[in-house]
Structure 1
């Protein structure tokens, strides 16, 4: 059983890692957690970062089999649909994306999102298996950050954890998004991810350290169990929940949460054009945080 070839890209403006995971025997590959460029102040979408991924795939002679999302991201816009239009492949995500779609479909008051996950080509259940070429992949439902978070365990040697754990000196993702749960996050990490063999490599979706030189994208189960400040060995669920919830109470909303989720629940597609043939991303007012301003002005 061949080990996968893993190549990473770093989207510096959103601190996001994208991975191309390839089978060395068949040259089939998966692209995990891609991103579009987005200039918020101009409302302009760009594809420079995604085009770098396309260039790599073509240069290496790879065939895209899968475009995988670990969850519906709140900090960047997925490039899955754009990459699919250029390279093919099936867009996959965890089956609990339905819950996320239903919540945000209501929040944005949009009608074109199904709420049943049919925008995606494949909805993965917990413990499901599939292949990237000849390389086996197993899914783990790892909720907490969102109810739909999924970890992809590739060849039982690498796990793509999305926004569950971060690097061992940084901690974990937040748990205060709709239907997030610090209790669920603790169990996802301690009872699933950190029960993998100690040498298993954990591939991060983000590195948020401000001003740090370079970027770090991979750790191990052993390192997390020894050094993660929030979930190291010996940390109880009650301890984790108290600390995590305390941190989350003072965090600001991610910069791109409102535009990104409209795209990401559509599997990376833009909203449909309106009667003037232009597309719009909605910004619902006074739905995040405590800024409940009066609307009579």
Structure 2
């Protein structure tokens, strides 16, 4: 089993961590959960965050094989199409993205839009194995936050997406269409049943006051001190806690622009006759 090399990029605007996972200098790499900068006040996009990733990949002579999404994010727009244009690679997500596309078809009135995942280059079945060069990857299906969440297990590292957060933050919300606190509990238990030394890499960090952002922990640390999912918490207890907490949360600031882009593999809407692209914001639909 090879140990992957990992470089993290933390986007402070969305608290998202993008990862470049690679074999080593000059080897194959994958980019996990990329960010396209988007200012909701002006409607402007930018590639500042993605360009940092591109610079790292080129500096180290890496060959991009995959642009991996852990799920269709509600808090940022994916930069996968831009990275693919610059670096190559296949855009991939879990096969259950079809359920998310169907769930939001009515919200966005997407008559005629494909809800079969065909916007992506690759859909991974649960536990499907693939490779980043010589690195073996297993796509673990970990539904709960959404029906389509995947965690990517690469050697002793697992990129958990929106299942677990750092131990002092807890777990991801489950109140989006198709979400389930019971399923999230079971998905988390699957991750926490891995060897104690397994490294877990978060998709986000929302640090409490006084703590710097962090995104790497271990199974042992999570089992000992995760505020929602430490050892001894039952499914019934977690569901009650998670459901009660979710009822108090506002929708993410970028959910309406982000979901419509991300269920389309990060592709922005086509320009209209005047050359301008337009996002669709449904009123009173959530």
Q: TM-score range by the shorter chain?
A: over 0.9
Matched residues in 2 for 1:217 and 1:206: separation? 7
Q: Which runs of 4+ in 1 moved over 6 A?
A: none
Corresponding residue for residue 269 of structure 1? 267
Q: Is the 8 A contact 1:137 1:152 kept in 2?
A: yes
- Matched residue SS, 1:162: coil
Map 1:80-229; keep pairs closer than 5 Å.
Answer: 80-111=80-111, 113-155=113-155, 157-190=156-189, 192-209=190-207, 211-229=209-227
Q: Which moved more, 1:106-115 or 1:48-57?
A: 106-115
The answer for unaligned runs of 5 or more in structure 2 is none
Question: For each residue in 1:53-97, what CA deviation from the matched residue of structure 2 results, as whole angstroms up to 9, or x when unmatched?
Answer: 000100010000000000000000000111001000000100000
Which residue does 1:33 correspond to in 2? 33
Distance 1:60 1:183, change over 3 A: same
Give secondary structure in 2 for the equivalent of 1:58.
Answer: helix
Distance 2:94 2:222 in 1: 24
Partners of 2:277 and 2:51 in 1: CA distance: 22
How far did residue 106 of structure 1 move? 2.2
What is the distance in 2 between the residues matched to 1:198 and 1:115?
39
The alpha-carbon deviation at position 279 of structure 1 amounts to 1.0
CA deviations over 1:195-223 (Å, ceiling 9, x no partner): 11000000000011265453101000011
Unaligned runs of 5+ in 1: 289-297
TM-score normalised per structure 1: 0.94
**How many aligned residue pairs are there?**
286
TM-score w.r.t. the length of structure 2 is 0.97
